[in-house]
């Protein structure tokens, strides 16, 4: 009877150990399998995530390049349009400006020549006859009249092509020529006024040439020449002997 009890105890003890061992083995196996599964899942997730990142980066880079290409194409097109419009505007402006420059040069040449001839005629009119007798007063007066008519006929149409500062100077010279010619004819010749003759002669022979020289310098500068200082007018007026 005692032997059977011992045998039963041994068997029960062996069974308990086996169950515990089996449970431990099962737990270890489940833990190992769980770790393997989690590792596999994490590896797969990381791989898929990396693949997704690469795809997203590639798509973003492609979209960015496409956007840049689109912007560049639009920018190039707009730039070409701007260049074309600027070229057209420049051509139109050059044509307009070129025509204006040509008309201005023509106006300068015409007005300057007529003004010089007008001044020469007035200068000849008020010139005293010291040793060599020149044209008569009637001939000189006719020359002044003809040159003034020529100037007055041409100047109004040319005036618009000149800068206002220059046209104002020309108006001043023209008015001075007219007033001195009239003063000579109405005061000097009839009354033999030597003092008034000297005054008129100094204005026409000394002061007006300086004004005309300054005008010529500005006209040359307007045509592109470098500005130069006018040479000083020297010499005293001669003793006058009106006709």
Each residue of 150-188: b (16+ CB within 10 Å) or e? bbeebbeebeebbeeebbebbeebbebbbebbebbbeeb
In a domain, 73, yes or no: no
CA distance 2 to 119: 166
For residue 185, give the CATH number of its domain. 1.20.120
| C-alpha separations of 58 from 53, 66, 68 in Å | 8, 12, 15
In a domain, 140, yes or no: yes
| List of the chain residues with pLDDT < 50 | 131, 230-243
pLDDT in the model for residue 176: 93
In a domain, 91, yes or no: no
In a domain, 171, yes or no: yes
In a domain, 187, yes or no: yes
In a domain, 69, yes or no: no
In a domain, 26, yes or no: no
Count the domains in the chain: 1
Contact 115, 170 (CB under 8 A): yes
In a domain, 243, yes or no: no
CA distance 60 to 66: 10
What domain range is 115 assigned to? Answer: 107-222
pLDDT in the model for residue 236: 41
């Amino acid at each position: 009877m005692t032997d059977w009890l011992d045998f039963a105890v041994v068997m029960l003890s062996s069974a308990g150990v086996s169950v515990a061992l089996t449970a431990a083995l099962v737990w270890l196996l489940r833990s190992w399998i769980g770790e393997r599964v989690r590792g596999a899942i994490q590896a797969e997730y990381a791989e898929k995530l990396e693949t997704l990142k690469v795809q997203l980066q590639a798509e973003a880079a492609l979209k960015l390049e496409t956007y840049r290409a689109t912007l560049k194409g639009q920018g190039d097109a707009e730039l070409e349009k701007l260049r074309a419009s600027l070229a057209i505007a420049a051509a139109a402006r050059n044509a307009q400006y070129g025509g204006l420059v040509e008309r201005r040069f023509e106006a300068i040449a015409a007005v300057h020549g007529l003004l010089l001839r007008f001044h020469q005629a007035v200068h000849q009119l008020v010139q005293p006859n010291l040793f060599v007798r020149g044209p008569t007063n009637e001939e000189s007066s006719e020359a002044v009249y003809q040159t003034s008519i020529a100037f007055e006929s041409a100047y109004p149409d040319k005036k618009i092509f000149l800068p206002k500062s220059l046209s104002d100077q020309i108006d001043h010279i023209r008015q001075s020529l007219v007033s001195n010619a009239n003063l000579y004819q109405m005061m000097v010749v009839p009354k033999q006024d030597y003092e008034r003759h000297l005054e008129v002669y100094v204005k026409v022979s000394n002061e007006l040439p300086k004004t005309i020289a300054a005008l010529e310098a500005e006209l040359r500068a307007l045509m592109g020449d470098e500005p130069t200082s006018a040479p000083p007018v020297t010499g005293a007026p001669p003793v006058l002997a009106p006709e």
